[in-house]
Structure 1
Amino acid sequence: MASTGGQGPITRAVRTYLDHLTVEKGLAANTLVSYRRDLRRYLEYLDIQGIDDLNAVSEATVSGFLVRLREGDAEHRPLSSTSAARTVVAVRGFHKFAVADGLAETDPAAAVKPPTPGKRLPKALPLSDVEAILEAAGAPGTALALRDRALLEVLYGTGARISEAVGLDVDDLDWDALGATDRAVEQQEVATVQLRGKGSKERIVPVGSYAREAVDAYLTRARPELVTARGSGGALFLNARGGRLSRQSAWAVLTRAAERAGVTRDVSPHTLRHSYATHLLDGGADVRVVQELLGHASVTTTQVYTLVTVDNLREVFATAHPRARG
């Protein structure tokens, strides 16, 4: 059986490619480790197929390797679609480089597409858990507790990303968003906030009364205590030293509140964003409206939340309808 081990031409080509990634592309050490591991497995597969010449590799060869990754063998467990896709990307990069560097005549991997990872449904919290977390954040009543409650109310009340929330300035708040005609509608004034999302894209998002009241309490009773001569550049949420609150500190605020509330499931700032979107859709909001509120460039990104609400509907139907079960 021909072998690609030792100093075979394909092995040498792989080493040249890895050197290229190291020196010219400057890939991180961990990324290079992954590429080496993935390409080593590819070399083993080619060795089993008796292939020791790059020009003998066909599209069917690469496709067969993908099948082997997904099915596994005696020495390797089956890979998930995500892990298999990463390995195929490494193989595609290698063959593309081999052609560009004159080491092979054709690229047999160009038409082999990595498997599409299954959609991972966002994790949304029940409203009762969200409310428990918000209450726990402000429970001590200190300046920092008022800040924490305001921060989490803004995250859940606007669907803001954590970077958008900590990036807010006081001037981004607009508590007088409605015109005179709208003001005639009793108790329906809606404040807004300007969020800066990915790619510096800005959007205006309404802020409900709970978040507005929490922010007002923080601004009047807590933020003045946190402001220092050092200055904060107008940041809305300040740390104990008077500077802008960091993403890491904001994450810690939520983690501590969840622990105090006894919420045991995994909670992150993005969990509140997922919950915001899911609860809106459960309440009848149009998916394109939610898209605008979240700042998604494509409605396709937002539509994954509709899968969550469909699951909720199935669960309610299965438990509530008298003829749901056979």
Structure 2
Amino acid sequence: MGTMVREVGVAVVAALDAAGYMGSTIGQYRKSIRALERLAQKQGGVYTPGLGADFSAMTTSPRTGKFSAQRRFDYGRLVSLFDSYVLTGTVTLAARKRSGGGYGLQSGEFIALMTAWSDEMEQRGLAVATRGTYGRMARDYLVYLEAVGVTSLNVAGGASVFGFLDSLQGRWAQSAMWSVASSFRPFLKFTRRRDLLDAVGMANARRHHGIVPTLRDADEQLVVRACAEGKVSARDAAITLLALVTGLRACDLIALHLNDIDWRGFTIGIVQAKTGNPLTLPLLPMIAGKLADYVLNERPASGDAHVFLRSAAPHVALADHASIYVVATKMFRAAGVKDVKAGTRALRHNAASKLLRAGTPLPTISAVLGHASPDSTTVYLSMDAEHLRACVLPLPQGAVR
């Protein structure tokens, strides 16, 4: 008799618990295990690698009827643990990235295409963050093609582009679809498939230019006070203050290394992930104090050189932008700030707003925010209400009111 799904599931959950994984994460694993048990009932509840492959291929959400990237990730990571147990007798909890081996693709043609696209982006000298964004969008499209039974780009038509963009609707806000399309176009240009490129244009993903939101002065004071009074961990306080004061991007906060901090000179020196440009920023005493408190007293013991690590096992660098958003949301809640969408974007805009109100020239703000082009800074003019009012012309005498 083979190894039972229930038996392997118990071993997986025990390994996750022993490694200190969060209860919510273990709960998600339990949910996937129950789904695998239901599938295994057809063969007496026995687990085999073949069953695992079938389970991993169940990427369609029963709720929406569409391809689900989250479902694919959850089922895939569980199968990798089950396979490791069946083959070695132990559960291997090595960090597993969402891309997976071979970019998470099965088709040899698609794997070769992704490799060529990665090489092309590197040769063009694109920033690491840009390569990551373009690469993820290309990979997600190819994963979608495999999910609908297409394993060669030669047989993919314009309808596949519409289907792919439609599958993202649940994960992306409508206002963000312009960014999705912009990150998708470079890959389609690389494939030289004009029909696919035209399909993206026909999708009519428009850019939204909303007025950039900022924090009220009272809310900003509440956040700073909460950081100073220790209402959250030193790690979360340091991350929030860095974003609030310096306007650092989430990717740069995640990538910050211990040797990027000049403790004697009270500065931080980095190479920006998005632009590849060097940037040196002053380290205010409060921020330096929170950083020191975190590094000396709170930071888990780890060989990882990144400054900010996961507080729960495995103690590695924070995963992505969502990790920073969770930190900011927790900080705002602890500070009692309501009706404000947390995140480094809001804090970054707030930093720009304060510089504008202080009369700082746009080129200087551009340098502080790390923009590749000063033109990128002009969007922040929309939130400088005081100076915008000064541009309003009075109505001529006798004009209709």
Question: Given the two structures, how large is their TM-score scaled by the length of structure 1?
Answer: 0.55
Q: Which residue of 2 aligns with 1:203?
A: 278
Per-residue deviation, 1:175: 4.1
1:250 maps to which of 324, 336, 340: 324
One-letter code aligned to 2:296: P
1:271 maps to which of 314, 338, 346: 346
Contact 1:134 1:257 in 2 (8 A): no
1:161 maps to which of 232, 242, 249: 249
One-letter code aligned to 2:328: L
Distance 2:240 2:205 in 1: 37
Distance 2:263 2:302 in 1: 27
Per-residue deviation, 1:286: 0.8
Equivalent position SS for 1:124: coil
Residue 286 (str. 1) matches residue 361 (str. 2):
yes
Q: Which residue of 1 aligns with 2:106?
A: none
User: Equivalent residues in 2 for 1:1-326 (5 A)?
Assistant: 23-25=151-153, 31-33=161-163, 96-97=194-195, 117-140=207-230, 145-177=233-265, 191-199=266-274, 201-209=276-284, 212-219=285-292, 221-233=293-305, 235-241=306-312, 242-247=315-320, 248-263=322-337, 264-309=339-384, 311-314=385-388
Contact 1:196 1:202 in 2 (8 A): yes
Distance 1:237 1:281 in 2: 30
Per-residue deviation, 1:316: 8.5
From the superposition, tell whether residues 257 and 97 of structure 1 become closer, same or farther in structure 2 (CA, over 3 Å): closer
Q: Which residue of 1 aligns with 2:58?
A: none
Contact 2:237 2:290 in 1 (8 A): no
One-letter code aligned to 1:131: Q
Q: Which residue of 2 aligns with 1:71?
A: none
Distance 1:260 1:268 in 2: 14
One-letter code aligned to 2:310: N
One-letter code aligned to 1:271: A
- Determine what percentage of the aligned residue pairs are the same residue: 20
Equivalent position SS for 2:360: coil
Per-residue deviation, 1:22: 5.3
Equivalent position SS for 1:193: strand
Distance 1:139 1:31 in 2: 51
Contact 1:160 1:195 in 2 (8 A): no
From the superposition, tell whether residues 36 and 22 of structure 1 become closer, same or farther in structure 2 (CA, over 3 Å): farther
Distance 2:272 2:241 in 1: 18
Q: Which residue of 2 aligns with 1:69?
A: none
Per-residue deviation, 1:230: 3.6
Per-residue deviation, 1:297: 1.5
Contact 1:135 1:149 in 2 (8 A): no
One-letter code aligned to 1:225: N
Distance 2:352 2:242 in 1: 14
CA RMSD between the two structures: 4.6
Q: Name which one, 1 or 2, has greater alpha-carbon Rg.
A: 1
Per-residue deviation, 1:255: 0.2
Per-residue deviation, 1:24: 4.2
Distance 2:298 2:316 in 1: 9
Distance 1:119 1:272 in 2: 18
One-letter code aligned to 2:214: A
